[in-house]
Structures are given as C-alpha cells and as structure tokens.
Amino acid sequence: MLDFSFVPGTFWFEAWQARFSLLSGIWVTMSASALTILFATILGVAVGTALAYGWWWLRLLARLYVDFMRGIPVLVLILFTYYGLALFGINVPAYWAGVIALSAFATAHIGETLRGAVESVPMGQMEAGKAIGLRFLQRLRYVILPQALRRMLPPWVNTGLEVVKGTTLLSIIGVVELLLTNQQIVARNYLIVDFYLFAGLLYLMINASIAALGARLERRFSYLRY
C-alpha cells in the first residue's frame, strides 16, 4: 500500500525525489504513443484503402503486409528495427526505432480495420456518388470515409490502447520510458509494490484519456448514418 507520510524511505518522499525522472518517463511514453498513433492512422488509411479499392497487385502487397505484421510479435519488430537494421548499416536511435516498429505494427491493424469499415458501407453509396458526377477520390472522401469512420472508431481506440501498453517493450532497447523509469527507481529504494502500482495507475490514466477521446469522437460522428 502507498505510504502517505513524507519521510525518507516512503513512497511520496522517493517519488518527489525522482519527480523529474518520472516526468521524463511519462513524456517519453506519451510522445511515443502519440507519434505511433498518428503515423499508424495516416499509413493505415492508405493500407486500408489499398485493400478495398487498389489494383489486384496493390491489394496483394497490402494483404501480405497486413498478414505479416499482424503475425509477428511486437517485441520481435522492435528488436529487428533497432538491431537488425544496424546489420545493414542503418543506425536508428532507440526511441525512433521503437516508434517505427510500433507504427508498422499498428498500421496493419488500422488498415484492416479501415478495410472492414469501408466494405461495410453499401455499394449503393459509391454508385450514388458516381451518379452525381463525383470522381473516385471525391466519392471516397465525401461519401465512403465519413460513414466508415463511425464504424472504425471503437477498434481504432482499442489499437491506441494497445500502442500505449506496447511502449513498455521499448525498455528492451534502452528507451527510458515510464516502466523503465520506475524500474530504475525501484532498484534504488526497493519500494517495489508502491512504484509498480503507481506506474499501473499512470498507464490507466493515459488509456482512460484515450478511451474518453474515442467516446467523444463517437458521439461527435454518431449522426453519420445512411
């Protein structure tokens, strides 16, 4: 249990002493998560569109990418991005190696989510847009994607939550994120339960914020019906 007294050796004293390290760890976790979600969303839209409307060879490449990335553990991707690329003379800083690996993994999930959402929109919607003279990109932007967005929001939020939890694996390649920061603090004061409980609460707060954002977006786009 957390000790609320403020004397040396208690949780609050040790947490205050390590406040800058904790803030740095929180910032690394949040920034890596935000960048990953941003990159994965942009690339996932491209992959999902290719899966649904691409030429046969583009659909094949997108399908191979999605199935390959979804079938590999995130830890393997992180290790390969950091250590494997170095074998080919490509040296990527640990932080960015983690962001790239997590983005590649999340892109596959978001791409598959978008494909399912797009294909759930009745074909008549696309034909109706074509009938009024809209070009393909216009039909996709103004007719299909707005309706697909509402359907893909819940799984998109789930992917964001998994990304946040996936950042804990970055400690394997030396990224001092929130979990590794707590491990370093615990190594000095041995307050194992206190600081791991504290880390769990911080992760819960971050994920609760993402879930709340997703719920707000769902309410915002709930009027998009056909």
> Which CATH number does the domain housing residue 140 bear?
1.10.3720.10
CB 145 within 8 A of CB 70: no
Q: Is the pLDDT of residue 86 over 90?
A: no
Question: Please, are residues 185 and 19 in contact by the beta-carbon 8 Å criterion?
Answer: no
Give the residue-averaged pLDDT of 87-107. Answer: 93
DSSP H or E stretch at residue 70: helix 56-70
Residue 77 or 149, more confident:
77
User: E strand or H helix at 65, and its extent?
Assistant: helix 56-70
162, part of any domain: yes
Instruction: For the full predicted model, state whether its pTM sits above 0.75.
Output: yes
Domain count, the chain: 1
Cα radius of gyration rounded to whole Å, the chain = 21
- Distances in Å between the alpha carbon of 161 and those of 83, 143, 185, 207, 214? 26, 29, 25, 6, 11
The token pair at 177 is 């994120």
187 part of a folded domain: yes
Query: Does any domain span residue 28?
Result: no
Is 68 a member of any domain?
yes
Q: Is the four-CA dihedral 163, 166, 172, 177 of positive or negative sign?
A: positive
120 within domain boundaries? yes
CB of 16 within 8 A of CB of 79? Answer: no
Asked whether the predicted pLDDT for residue 122 surpasses 70, the reply is: yes
pLDDT score of 151: 84
pLDDT at 153 over 90: no
Give the pLDDT confidence score for residue 178 in this predicted structure: 93
Q: What is residue 226's predicted lDDT score, i.e. its pLDDT? A: 45
Mean pLDDT, residues 183-195: 89
> What average pLDDT does range 93-121 have in this prediction?
93
Degrees to nearest 5, angle at CA 42 with 36 and 45: 125
- The pLDDT mean for the chain works out to 88
Say what the pLDDT of residue 170 is: 94
Q: Residue 112: which domain range?
A: 40-220
For a pLDDT cut of 90, what percent of the chain falls above it?
Answer: 58
166, part of any domain: yes
Nearest-CA neighbor of 51 among 113, 127, 124?
Answer: 113
